[in-house]
Structure 1
């Protein structure tokens, strides 16, 4: 089934079609939730941020100026919600492998290898600051461009690149310390 494009959904929502908002939530809920989970590392917190994000999207949709993609705008809302929660209380870390998507096409061996890689990367990311984790998550997990990260975080081009560079160096150092050299360049 073909999903309606974002512009159409926005028009329908602003015209009072609540079903269109449900379609918008269905379309982006997993992306927002996974993004929040990767930053917050707590399932309940990620659910709350996801709900808060869509509540704010609903209330603020009339202010969306279509200068960026709708998904970028929503991730910006989610990013700030995550950063606010992280500044209030430091979350305890959980294993996000329990919460990641299914890998239907992979063999058990490949799934185990992917799980091991995630565990190693999660361990290495513990050494990053909250802001660095957010930027790394946006760039590598959510595959956002530098420009999109700038829009989401409000940082400049050079700040995003500097944070990514420093984060890579920290991750390389931590991976080397852990004995993982095949990923380090």
Structure 2
């Protein structure tokens, strides 16, 4: 599979091979982006898995997505920021 639009259409229809292709293309990029935000390898691994799980869970939306890379970047950013904020709130409440 090479054409990203075709891959996204198949992914939106629930094709596991298309999901695997997207995962292989973007997994490390997402991981390193999130790692730069959370500064923890294990947290970055967990958040990256969560991000790809969210992609799979909401795959039907991808017929409307024009730029998958941008969508994925925003999803990763929001997921990481939400995690950072929840850790901050938990630390404040413990004090």
Deviation of 1:79 (Å): 0.7
Query: Which structure is richer in relative contact order (CA contacts within 8 A, separation 6 or more)?
Result: 2
2:46 — aligned with what? 48
Describe how 1:89-128 pairs up with structure 2 within 5 A.
89-90=87-88
Alignment partner of 1:37: what SS?
helix
Deviation of 1:5 (Å): 2.3
Alignment match of 2:84 (pick from 83, 86, 101): 86
TM-score normalised over the length of structure 2: 0.82
Q: Which runs of 4+ in 1 moved over 4 A?
A: none
Structure 1 or 2, whichever has the larger Rg, is: 1
C-alpha separation in 1, matches of 2:82 and 2:14 = 31
C-alpha separation in 1, matches of 2:78 and 2:61 = 17
Give the structure with the larger helix fraction.
2
C-alpha separation in 2, matches of 1:28 and 1:81 = 16
Deviation of 1:17 (Å): 1.9
Deviation of 1:88 (Å): 1.5
Residue by residue over 1:30-64, the C-alpha shift from the partner in whole angstroms, topping out at 9 and shown as x without a partner, is 11001000000100110111101111111112213
Deviation of 1:66 (Å): 2.4
RMSD: 1.4
Alignment partner of 2:65: what SS?
coil
Residue by residue over 1:49-108, the C-alpha shift from the partner in whole angstroms, topping out at 9 and shown as x without a partner, is 1101111111112213224x1011011111111001111115xxxxxxxxxxxxxxxxxx
Deviation of 1:16 (Å): 3.1
C-alpha separation in 2, matches of 1:66 and 1:80 = 17
Q: How many pairs align?
A: 87
Relative to structure 1, is the Cα distance of residues 15 and 62 closer, same or farther in structure 2, using a 3 angstrom cutoff? Answer: closer
Is there any run of 5+ residues in structure 2 with no aligned partner, and where?
89-95
Deviation of 1:10 (Å): 1.3
C-alpha separation in 1, matches of 2:77 and 2:71 = 10
Is there any run of 5+ residues in structure 1 with no aligned partner, and where?
91-185
1:27 — aligned with what? 25
